[in-house]
Amino acid sequence: MLVIDGSYGEGGGQILRTALPLSIITNIPVKIYNIRARRPEPGLKRQHLVVVRLLKKLADAEVEGAYLGSTELVFRPRRLVYKELELDVGSAGSLPLIIQALAPLVTVLERPVTVKLTGGTDVPHSPSFDYMRYIFCKAVGVLGARLELLLEKRGFYPRGGGKVTVKLYPSTLQPAEFLGKEQPKKFWLWAAASEELKKRNVLGRIASSAKKLLGEVNSQLEYCKTLSVGVVATLGCWTEGRVLGADMLGEKGLPSEELGRQLAEKLLKEIQSGASVDKHLADMLVPFGFLAGRLVFRTSELTQHLLTNIWVCRQFIKREVRIDETTKKVEIL
């Protein structure tokens, strides 16, 4: 059994979301201790238990320590279960973070699996659903991962109620390099807001503001019925060997024009850094790099999330990892 210190590095729920799917893929039982030990409220929270419960079902796993506040978890995968699964994460628990935990499993599937999730599609401290659907899926697709994310209903914080279908397809990964330097000339904006905000034209104002900084932007704007009022906007661009994205949630007191400007500036900062993948995408790609056997990319920042994910993956799969702190180039070999 592999034993992992859950307080290492970033020391949050990400260690769990990376370690459990890798346990299933490598068929190595894992014990994680000191879970979120340095957080104000240590141990497993509801959103972490949801991931454990879902992966337990998918892998017919034996699990010990899966309760609120638990700082130690044992996970023993047995066999993959091929049936449609449904899970309500409650209120606005992040669905994109659950998708992160599910996605690597495409590498061991023998036939497709469908998972239906209810919760928060666009919530704080999480990528937006559109970031996962358009940026993350595009990047892991380069490595050969096949998954489909279907949106039925948006769910904003605090009430959530969003509905998403995740379709995972058997995939064979291939090595990949993200080292493109070509300047993007086209940008995509995906923005959504609750119907109540339509009369204030919040999405049009976000789009206009982003266009002032970026130039040509292809916009997909959508007003929708939601349980809680919210706004989310995601920008993306890609060229050969380069995939970059940025997202933002609306908040009280933040004008739509300012949201559009800040979002465009976030993406421009990634572009101007010379990154080939943005700093959030970088840590999400790491497990796929370890499973593919080779992944090379440049990013804008060597975040704790990135370094922690590399460390967790190395516990399961022995690979050489080279990191250039000057150029922010990462090689998984």
What residues are annotated to the active site?
A: 305
CB 306 within 8 A of CB 280: no
Concatenated DSSP letters for 54-118? HHHHHHT-EEE--STT-S-EEEE------S-EEEE--TT-BHHHHHHHHGGGGGT-SS-EEEEEE
Instruction: Return the SS3 of 289.
Output: helix
- Expressed in angstroms, the distance from the first to the final Cα of the chain is 25
- Tell me the residue type at 41: E
How far, in Å, CA of 96 to CA of 219, rounded? 22
Tell me how far apart the alpha carbons of residues 34 and 51 are, in angstroms, rounded to a whole number: 18
Q: Give the separation between CA 167 and CA 140, rounded to whole angstroms.
A: 14
Asked if 172 and 144 touch (Cβ cutoff 8 Å), the reply is: yes
Other CB atoms within 10 A of residue 318 CB: 8
Q: Report helix, strand or coil for 167.
A: strand
